[in-house]
Amino acid sequence: MSKKTPFEFLDTARRMPERVPLSLRKQGDWSELYGRFDGGDAKHQAGRCLDCGNPYCSWGCPLHNRIPQWLELAREGRIHEAAALCHETNPLPEICGRVCPQDRLCEGSCTLNDGFGAVTIGAVEKYIVDSALADGWRPDLAAVTATGKRVAVVGAGPAGLSCADRLARAGIAATVFDRYESIGGLLQFGIPSFKLERTVMATRHGILEGMGVEFRLGVEVGRDVGFDALLADYDAVFLGLGSYRYTDGGLPGQDLRNVLPALPFLVQNGRIVIGDDTQGRAIAGWEDEIALPELRGRHVVVLGGGDTGMDCVRSAVRLGAASVRCVYRRNEANMPGSAREVANAREEGVEFLFNRQPLALLGDGAVSAVRVAETRLGEADARGRQRAEIVPGSESELPADVVIISFGFQPDPPAWLSTHGIAQHDNGRIRVTGGKGDGGLPFQTTHPRVFAGGDGVRGADLVVTAAYEGREAAKGIAQLLLA
Ligand code: FAD
Ligand code: SF4
């Protein structure tokens, strides 16, 4: 490989992999939007890295990935070494490379953002790991010695999978329980396939099994197996339960026909897309599966501007909606959804109505309109976000055949947590210690042998933060069991 020049970023522009053509997306193509770099592209894009003395990208990544080092290995074509280095900090690198909002994290911190365009960190991460795995590379646990310790992991989402990965690397046998028949949590049944194809999860399932992780799928803890039994049979337990109680906003008219909550809409649609109805069980909290109305040729309004909202609008485009509008109560700069996803949605024809507060859903039997009012930004709230204040006399009606409500999620802790002395915050998030001077181990709950992480601890957040907490909790468990 040629010697690296510090000014490659001047000769090579930032470029993402090719995307599925817009016309196909609008005709209902559900395949992953971004393709994969070929080897030459990946080397050139990786070679744009300045290798700053202080890698801001690594600080911007919740996992503190060793980004400049694996970019350099990719530039040199040393893909197996790069994949091994990716896995040192990230248990799910090919997944994060696909779904992280990089513009807010690693790439948002890249020095080249200063007018040149950030290094395409996520796309190179995906390239490295996909290529190595396709080439037969697998994590090497040959030097790991079994400790004889056993841990039950409840939840096969990114938090649980990351914890299981790190436990296996520490020689601790992990058994992962999930109520669904497939691993991945929201990666499997929430995030649409145009962001993450299901084959990616199937490959990761095989890798984890190859590392010795055991899966007990289709088993709900608290129903099919008691939490008491886990405490009796295992040395410790990790809880990666996720966050599934949805916020409906309490809008008048939300019981009208064709008003849908976001996650059941995405889940049901996702199953139809992949022709899979084998999951068998409704999502926790929504015991009845929803009947999906026909979206083709209809006017769809999505309420909410987060990642889930972006997945809803872009799914509606692929389902052939005549128009898709996204209503958000603050301005674009305050939108929680990734800027890249917003740009993709806009390109796919989604209209964004910023500074609009939904007041009521109108209709006779079925929804026919959304009453909205304009907003302006006022005082900052406790989290520093400016409140959206309604502008008096600004009400109007938006025609709508289908309304999808995407206002976010809160944890919905099962009753057996409290029964076993596992304390929660008022909003249902499981309490954990940070391990930094507060007397506890990382991500230890108020039960000394139970640890927790991911959305069940943070509230609805990101795959990468769930992976971080699963990874760190495994360290806490190892400290407890192997001290
Ligand atoms: P989950 O992924 O929710 O997994 C929890 C698992 O626990 C589930 O499989 C559940 O079945 C299982 N479980 C719960 N209770 C039990 C029990 N009693 N017994 C057995 N199993 C149980 N994040 C991003 O970074 N990028 C994105 O693009 C993105 N898009 C998203 C799109 C949508 C539609 C949604 C809803 C979220 C999105 N997120 C995204 C957020 C991300 O998916 C979550 O933050 C992440 O999945 C949380 O991981 P987790 O492991 O904590 O929980
Ligand atoms: Fe960026 Fe996410 Fe990869 Fe970290 S894990 S380097 S934030 S894409």
What does the block give as tokens for 40? 């030459």
Distance (angstroms) between ligand 1 centre and the Cα of 186 equals: 4
> Is any atom of ligand 2 closer than 6 Å to the C-beta of 465?
no
pLDDT surpassing 70 at residue 285 = no
Burial of residue 189, with CB atoms counted within 10 A of its CB: 0-12 exposed, 13-18 middle, 19 or more buried: buried
> Is any atom of ligand 1 closer than 6 Å to the C-beta of 308?
yes
Taking each helix axis as running N to C, give the angle between helix 307-318 and helix 262-273, from 0 to 180 degrees, rounded to the nearest 10.
Answer: 40
Q: Across all residues in the chain, what is the average pLDDT?
A: 93
Amino acid letter for position 420: H
Q: What average pLDDT score do residues 143-150 get?
A: 98
Please state whether beta strands 245-246 and 409-410 pair in parallel, antiparallel, or not at all (unpaired). antiparallel
Residue 319 CA, chain-centre distance (Å), reads 22
Mutate to test the pocket of ligand 1, among 223, 241, 312, 430 (most ligand atoms within 8 A of CB): 241
The closest of 90, 100, 197 to 467, measured between CA atoms, is: 90
Distance (angstroms) between ligand 1 centre and the Cα of 276 equals: 19
For residue 203, the surrounding DSSP H or E stretch is helix 198-210
The answer to whether 357 and 392 have CB atoms below 8 angstroms apart is: no
pLDDT at 334: 86
The answer to whether 360 and 251 have CB atoms below 8 angstroms apart is: yes
pLDDT at 93: 98
**DSSP helix, strand, coil percent of the chain (3-state; round to 5):** 35, 20, 45
For residue 22, the surrounding DSSP H or E stretch is helix 22-26
pLDDT-wise least confident of 229-238, 287-296, 361-370: 287-296
Q: How far apart are CA 449 and CA 181, in angstroms?
A: 27
Q: How far apart are CA 82 and CA 128, in angstroms?
A: 7
What does the block give as tokens for 262? 């976001």
Binned at pLDDT 50, 70 and 90, residue 292 comes out as: confident
Amino acid letter for position 6: P
pLDDT in tens, 381-434: 777 778 889 999 999 999 999 999 999 888 999 999 999 999 999 999 999 997
Distances (CA, A) of 233 to 175, 221, 427: 11, 13, 30
> Is any atom of ligand 2 closer than 6 Å to the C-beta of 95?
no
Q: How far apart are CA 82 and CA 188, in angstroms?
A: 26
Amino acid letter for position 70: W
Q: What average pLDDT score do residues 309-317 get?
A: 96
Distance (angstroms) between ligand 1 centre and the Cα of 456 equals: 9
pLDDT surpassing 80 at residue 117 = yes
Q: What percent of the chain has pLDDT over 90?
A: 82
What does the block give as tokens for 460? 């609805």
Q: What are the chain's domains?
A: 8-20+34-134 (1.10.1060.10), 150-243+411-482 (3.50.50.60), 246-407 (3.50.50.60)
Alpha helix stretches (DSSP H) within 403-451: 415-419
Q: How far apart are CA 86 and CA 139, in angstroms?
A: 11
Binned at pLDDT 50, 70 and 90, residue 435 comes out as: low
> Is any atom of ligand 2 closer than 6 Å to the C-beta of 122?
yes
Q: How far apart are CA 248 and CA 329, in angstroms?
A: 15
> Is any atom of ligand 1 closer than 6 Å to the C-beta of 469?
no
Binned at pLDDT 50, 70 and 90, residue 373 comes out as: very high
The answer to whether 358 and 250 have CB atoms below 8 angstroms apart is: no
Q: How far apart are CA 137 and CA 83, in angstroms?
A: 8
What does the block give as tokens for 96? 């994060």
The closest of 95, 235, 240, 79 to 170, measured between CA atoms, is: 235
The closest of 266, 281, 120, 279 to 193, measured between CA atoms, is: 266
Nearest bound ligand to the CA of residue 338? 1
Q: What average pLDDT score do residues 198-204 get?
A: 96
Alpha helix stretches (DSSP H) within 49-197: 56-60, 67-75, 79-89, 93-99, 121-134, 158-169, 186-189
What does the block give as tokens for 115? 């007018």
Distance (angstroms) between ligand 1 centre and the Cα of 455 equals: 7
Mutate to test the pocket of ligand 2, among 58, 64, 87, 96 (most ligand atoms within 8 A of CB): 96
The answer to whether 179 and 220 have CB atoms below 8 angstroms apart is: yes
